[in-house]
Structure 1
Amino acid sequence: KMAEEPPMPVGAPSLVRNATTQDPHGKKTAADSPPSGQGSMFPILAVVVVVIAVVYMLMSGPEQGELDSPFDKERFASLLNTRDLGKKLEYKPRTSTTMADAKLLVKQRTQDDLHGTVVVADSQTRAIGRKGRKWYAKSRDNLYATFMWIPSLSASPPPKGAVPQEHLTHLNYAVAVAIARACAAEGASGVGIKWPNDIWISNRKVSGILLDYQPGKGGVALVGIGINVNEEIQHADKIDATAKQAISIRDATGYVALRERVLARVLEETEALMAGTLASTLSSYGEYDMLKDRRIRVHHKSKNVDDPRDYDAVGVRPTKDGLEVVKSDGTKLTLLAEEVSISPA
């Protein structure tokens, strides 16, 4: 004989909802059945709230920065997600060049202290670019930085004792891709890389890279980057010939970007690419390559100085040895450090 169930205490809630029960008069009723429609509004309201939030995020875009404000070290640290790059930060409101500051640190610090260190300045008084060219770097709405990279301490170091030329080539390509991705992530369209070290938006230069290798301390690569972030270049009242060839992320997107976010993303992308292979980075580079299958002019001095050795060619692809091109007579060459300008199609 099965044991009888104990009686339910008076007033105890039923554990079975919507059960059919008998009322004292013998009629069946749906116990605990909610009135028609009750409880159905919550899922609808939840969906509406989510939709409104998504629309707001799409319309408002990423968090915006403030013009003419100093670089925020704490905000940068909160945005950074790297193993080494950017974990040590040297901030200067004003300096001659971040590259010069980095070279001084190489003399003062050990390898472990140097690797991943980034020098950031709000303005530079003696900014230099490739081949020693001077350039304007006084607006603190832009990004000026140099980071230190020690090949032997990286996630994928070159063979011990070897001259890390291929590693440095990989680093140059990786930084270019990282800056291109950072610009695209901020909402800029038409982002491209012009070999060997320029990043463009809509056929105007937004960033440049300067790589210097110091053999001391076991070998230290200094990577200088300049990115036009928030300076209104294309919308300025007065614009010179050089500025006509430049653009900023703000010009391209219409909003004030966070310099701290841009730098954090560049460092993250660089570190991730350097953890992989050169072949993989070259594949990513190809997504932004401006010279592929385009007519170019190869200059041996500069695009402003005619040289009898200059010639026209078509860009093929970047490699570990340089830029492959095909001259008009069909001759295939690999460029090392010549300056290249894009000819009209």
Structure 2
Amino acid sequence: MKDHSVKLNLLNTLSDGAFHSGESLGKQLGITRAAISKHIQGIQEWGVDIFRVQGKGYQLAQPFIMLNHERIQSQVNNPVELHPIIDSTNQYLLERTDTITSGTVCVAEYQSQGRGRRGRQWMSPFGTNLYFSIFWRLEAGMAAAMGLSLVVGVAVVEAIEALGIEGVKLKWPNDLYHDDKKLAGILVEMSGQAGGAANLVIGMGMNLAMQDKNGEIDQPWTSLVEVIGNDQFDRNQLVVSFIKTLDQALKDYEMHGMQDFVARWNRLDNFIDRPVRLIMGNNEINGIERGIDAHGGVLLETNDGVKSFIGGEISLRSNG
């Protein structure tokens, strides 16, 4: 595994938002100013904006608090792994389901191969988003996992609400929205054999302070700093809140299934009672969205009455 310790130490120093000269950074790390410049370029390739001003040195465009493993682990019972740099938090756990315990969490500052639904790339700049996955062994098997992404969505929004942040909604089946813009996405991946337990890895990517630099994202999106109107939130406390709420929600789901989550989802449904179009493969169905049913299917009121739709290839979009 590539050693990123110098870059991470640089980021720790720069995270205070002040200017630091190349000379002082070099003395601190025991390397030359030229080496500092090279490492700064590497950090910029992670999507981090760093200014360089002659006579002053380097400064982060956006100061941020880096994730701290000790702070997070001291407040939760789940085993937590913090990897500043990783290919994919989901893939990391998927490759270790035989050796890790149920409830293990993987968190990262930067993903080089983050992915969303249907294999889409998830934009993953360093330190401005949250990349989070949890492993769960579902003893009831893969068939019992239907609707799990809905349960996770409810838990995540409730964790955000517990921190005093209002207005975040859910888009069926696995996105978080605010003002009709995507805030976060959830990806559930599983493995197992018929008749046995299902190994689930539930991943989430949330935009915290990401800026639209390159226009590569093909849908309206927002970030948490826009939702709350400032950047005064603790990223570490956000992770703690997600771990605690998700752990309890997954235990509730194991005991009671979807029944306790239908009303909780419908309260948060971004499209409930709104005209929508449901795209399923080459088919498009128009109607009024009426929430979800007890199996996690989306209810659509059409000229033929209210029908339930469910499946991994369904997209839901507002007519407007």
TM over 0.5: yes
Task: Count residues in correspondence.
Answer: 250
CA distance in 1, matches of 2:90, 2:178: 25
- In the other structure, the counterpart of 1:36 is none
TM-aligned CA deviation for residue 203 of structure 1: 1.7
* 1:128 and 2:115 are equivalent in the alignment: yes
- In the other structure, the counterpart of 1:228 is 207
- In the other structure, the counterpart of 1:314 is 288
| 1:137 to 1:114, Cα distance in 2 relative to 1, 3 A | same
Contact kept in structure 2, 1:71 and 1:122, CA below 8 Å:
yes
* 1:219 and 2:215 are equivalent in the alignment: no
Structure 1 stretches (4+) deviating beyond 6 angstroms?
none
| 1:310 to 1:144, Cα distance in 2 relative to 1, 3 A | same
Contact kept in structure 1, 2:136 and 2:199, CA below 8 Å:
yes
- In the other structure, the counterpart of 1:196 is 173
Identity of aligned residues (%): 21
- In the other structure, the counterpart of 2:5 is none
CA distance in 2, matches of 1:219, 1:331: 32
Which secondary structure does the structure 1 equivalent of 2:74 belong to?
helix
Whichever residue aligns with residue 237 of structure 2, its letter is R
Whichever residue aligns with residue 104 of structure 1, its letter is E
* 1:106 and 2:97 are equivalent in the alignment: yes
* CA displacement 1:60-79 (0-9 Å, x = unmatched): xxxxxx94443201111233
Structure 1 window deviating more from structure 2 (267-276 vs 200-209): it is 267-276
Contact kept in structure 2, 1:118 and 1:148, CA below 8 Å:
yes
Contact kept in structure 2, 1:175 and 1:266, CA below 8 Å:
no
Q: Which has the higher strand share?
A: 2
- In the other structure, the counterpart of 1:97 is 88
- In the other structure, the counterpart of 1:250 is 225
TM-aligned CA deviation for residue 241 of structure 1: 6.7
Matches within 5 A, 1:267-286: 267-276=243-252, 277=256, 278-286=258-266
Unaligned runs of 5+ in 1: 1-65, 153-157, 302-306
Structure with bigger gyration radius: 1
Which secondary structure does the structure 2 equivalent of 1:93 belong to?
strand
- In the other structure, the counterpart of 2:267 is 287
TM-aligned CA deviation for residue 123 of structure 1: 0.4
CA distance in 1, matches of 2:80, 2:306: 47
Whichever residue aligns with residue 322 of structure 1, its letter is G
Matches within 5 A, 1:1-345: 67-80=63-76, 87-107=78-98, 109=99, 113-152=100-139, 158=140, 163-166=141-144, 168-215=145-192, 218-231=197-210, 233=211, 238=213, 240=215, 242=217, 245-253=220-228, 254-276=230-252, 277=256, 278-301=258-281, 307=282, 309-319=283-293, 320-330=295-305, 332-337=307-312, 338-344=314-320
Which secondary structure does the structure 1 equivalent of 2:161 belong to?
helix
Contact kept in structure 2, 1:129 and 1:135, CA below 8 Å:
yes
TM-score w.r.t. length of structure 1: 0.66
CA distance in 2, matches of 1:272, 1:117: 14
Which secondary structure does the structure 1 equivalent of 2:96 belong to?
helix
TM-aligned CA deviation for residue 239 of structure 1: 6.0
